[in-house]
Structures are given as C-alpha cells and as structure tokens.
Structure 1
C-alpha cells in the first residue's frame, strides 16, 4: 500500500469517527435532557433549543479536533481508539457543563423552563456560549502531550470554576442584573455575555494546550492565564464601548433598549481581542 492510499484510509477513518462522535454526542444530549430534541426542533420549531444544540455540536467538533491534533502513536487503530476515547470524555464534560450552567452559573431561575417553554433565545445564546467555552477548554486539555484523563478532568473542573467566578465579575461590572435580563429574554444581554464566556474559554484553552510537565507548573500556568484573561476581558468591555460605540452607553443599549446589534458588537469585539491575546500569550 503506497502513501497516498494510506493517507486516504486515514482521512476516511477519522471522518467516520467524527460522524460517530456527533451521533453519540446528540444521543447523550437527548439522554441527559428531559425533552426530545427531535420534537423540539422539528415539531415545535424551538429556536432557543436549536441555538443551544448548535453550540453543543460545534463544541463537540472542537473537542474532537483537540484530541485529533494530539500526539500520534504511529498506529491508526490505536490513534482511533485514543481520539474516540478522549472525545467521549469531552462529550461528558459538555453535558456536565450544562448542569453547571443551570445550577451554579445562572441559578436564579429555571433554565429549563426558560429554554423549553419560554423559547428564550437569550438563554439559548448563553448555552451556546458555555458549550463553546467548555469545548475550547476541553480541547486544550486533551491536546497536550504527557497528560491523560485525570489531567483533562481536573482542568475541566477548574475551568468551570473560573467561568463561574468570571460570570460573577461580569455581573458585578455591569449596572444591570445579568440573570434577570437573561430570564426576561434580553437577547442582546445573552449574546454579549456568551461572547465574554467564549472569549475566556479561548484563553484558558490556549493556556493549557501545551505539554503536561507537572502539576505545579501546569496549575500555575492555568492560574496565570485565567487571572490575566479575566482582568483583560473586563477591560475590553470598556474599550469596545468607547471605540466601537463612541458616544453611546453600551449598558443602556443592551439593558434598556435591548439592542441586539450592540450585543453583537460587544460579542465580536470581545472575541476578537481574545483571539489576539491567544496568539500573543
């Protein structure tokens, strides 16, 4: 078998595994939620659940890529087993992140009622964001050489903790009550917050994507990236308001006017800065 044939077999094998990961991911999502995805999407045409599922599937792809881009053993069969196993672990992380969101991050109202019965797009946007943030963190934890399921699990737990702390700081830094705005369906607030959460996930994922050299070194690196990321993202909000929306109060646009355009501006501006920082850090 020549190199071209071997390469084609490898591509087909990993594409097939990717499809399997998406199928398993959808099954797990359906299994761990009290509603039928098919019914919600095809019968009720629920856009909030559609947005949430989109984030879940994109995050599943990030996790798969994180595992795929890790070190190779040189054996196709073994690599498929490792990538498949780590992808399954990452899918479990995604479903746990939904529990963290519901019980610890936005815990002042029933997230399930908001997204299923209320068709709350703001809640759907936040779920989209938390899934992507978790996907970036999990991909970073699974990508590096020298780690394993234990290190990936620890960094997932720590990453979720940082997201919770950051959400409290974000709420404190805005003059409006974040959870109340999300509960009331303020899509502008949901988009802006989702962008901030995803931005932090990008930075944390980048910070932990290197080789695992030891607990003390990697935990210290995680702490540095998390702290610097949270501080800088808080500052970015000020920059976005004064550079991208000069002469207008960003908080008023989001909370009072529910200006979805302003939410997108904050979201894209924050993500842009995060991508730049991920390259520079």
Structure 2
C-alpha cells in the first residue's frame, strides 16, 4: 500500500467534506438572516418541531446536492476545490429558491415562516407552536430538490459550463415536475390536502413530503448518466418523469390496498390523523423509489 498517496487522498477528502459542511453552516446563517423576525434557534430549543423539520430538510438537501458535486473524475485538487465552491453556491441558491416556490406555489400562498411559529389549539385544549405539517412538506421539497441537483451534477461529459447550465436547467424543470406532481397527487386525493396541511394535520404533511422525496429519488437516477446532448437529456428526463409519476401513483394504490387492509390512506390522514400509518406508507413508497432508481 502506498501510504503517502492514501494519506494525501484522505487529506483532500477531508478538505472536500469541510467545504461541504461550510455550506451547511452558511445556509444556517442565511436562513437566520432571512427569518430575523423570529429566533429559529430559540424555537428549536423550545421544541418547535416545524422549525426543526424545515431546517433539517435544508441541511439534508445541501448535503445530498453536494454529494453529486463531489462525484465524478478528479480534475486536480485545486480545480476540484474551485468547482466544488461554485457548485456549493449554486446548490445553496437553488434550495433557497425552492423554499420560495414551496411557500408561494406548492402551498397556495401560505406563509411558511408565519405558519411555522403560529400557535395551534389541539383537540384536547393543549396548544402547540408551529405548523408541523407545513414544516414537513418544506423539508420534503428541500430533500427532493437535493436529489435532483445531485443527479444533474453527478454526470460526466461536457464542459464545466455545460455542467452548470445542466444543473440550472434541470433544477427549473425539476421544480415544475415537483409542483405538477404535487397538484396531481392532490387531485387524486379524496379531500383537500392543502386544507389539511394548513390545519396542521401532520399525517397530511408526511403524505405529501414522502411522495415528493420518492419522485426526487427517481429523477436523480434519470439525471445521473453522462451528458449526451441537451435534447437527449431533456427528452430522457421527461420520459423518466412520466414513468416515475405513473409508478409512484400505482404503488401508492398498492400500498393502500395491502399495507392498510383494514382501512385506507384517506381515512388515516383526514379522520385519524395517523402519523404512524403515514410514516409506514411513505417509507414504503421511498423504499420502492430507491429500488426503482437503482434498477433503471
């Protein structure tokens, strides 16, 4: 074993990891500045699950995106560091823009910041601070977007400028797909999903967040191959998008039928607000998405 080469590789890997962690810290500071009207750290210390979830989703989204930026062949340590810094800025900016889209489009002009520090009165008279359902959806949107950015940055072929252009293009297309799929999912749900989320029904938030993450995983797999030209890559992306949406809707129905034999997803969300059932259902859907992503 060449110990010098191994130690050099480990040192470079540590530098890449530290740069990636730096962007997580930067995202925290940016979000602290963006939400300066209330203290996120204090809300998390006080047990505000909504704020904790949205922050967790942001950090995970950055990490997932940075993993894509770290993959591929090396162009030399200095060049790799420069590319990683540029990619980190792009990933962070895209995730904050994704939050804006989630706030004003996905959730139908609900103000996520206001909802995540709003006081809700529970059925037994207790009060809780923060819309956990909305925080869960925002976290899911971050994570799904992280997977899309991961796929668009992890392919080989093309120049660095083409790689950045591809990442931006597929980020935009991915946001349209996530929003469109969210709308389709709401249309096939036999109740108003957004109303349930606005009323702080955590089961509804888990249902929407889970299926968005599952779609993000499938889209990541469709983007991870080598750059083959703009037309081919865009056509392939939409083919996999349609394929993924059909599969997820179909498997959602199968899970509803076989994993909840004595009830159904709609009842567990709207009437029972059953968080345990939705965790099981969406974990299964995500597991299916991981298998599909590996197989295609």
Give the TM-score range, shorter chain. over 0.9
Query: Do the aligned residues in 1 keep the contact of 2:104 with 2:110 (CA within 8 Å)?
Result: no
Unaligned residue ranges in structure 2 (runs of 5+): 120-129
TM-aligned CA deviation for residue 218 of structure 1: 0.1
Taking the aligned partners of 1:105 and 1:241, their CA distance within structure 2 comes to 24
Residue in structure 2 matched with residue 54 of structure 1 by the alignment: 56
Distance in structure 2 (CA, Å) of the matches to 1:20 and 1:191: 29
Matching of residues 264-275 of structure 1 within 5 Å: 264-275=279-290
Q: Does 1:9 align with 2:11?
A: yes
- 1:189-235, Cα deviation, whole Å (9 max, x unpaired): 11111110000000111101111111110000100011111111111
1:139 aligns with 2:150: yes
Q: Distance in 2 between matches of 1:37 and 1:148?
A: 35
Report the counterpart of residue 205 of structure 1 in structure 2.
Answer: 220
Q: Does 1:100 align with 2:101?
A: yes
Match of 2:141 in 1: 130
Normalised by the size of structure 1, how large is the TM-score? Answer: 0.95
Mapped partners of 2:239, 2:31: distance in 1: 33
- Alpha-carbon offset, residue 176 of structure 1: 1.1
CA drift at 1:247: 2.5
Partner SS for 1:116 = coil
Q: What CA distance in whole angstroms lies between the structure 2 residues aligned with 1:181 and 1:279? A: 34
Q: TM-score, normalised by structure 2?
A: 0.90
- 1:40 equivalent to 2:43? Answer yes
Q: CA deviation at 1:109?
A: 2.9
Tell me, in whole angstroms, the C-alpha distance in 2 between the residues paired with 1:89 and 1:218: 20
> Which residue does 2:84 correspond to in 1?
83
Compute the RMSD of aligned alpha carbons. Answer: 1.5
Change (3 A) 1:32 1:16: same
Which consecutive unaligned segments of at least 5 residues does structure 1 have? none
**How far has the Cα of 1:30 moved from its partner?**
2.3
Matched residue of 1:231: which SS?
A: helix
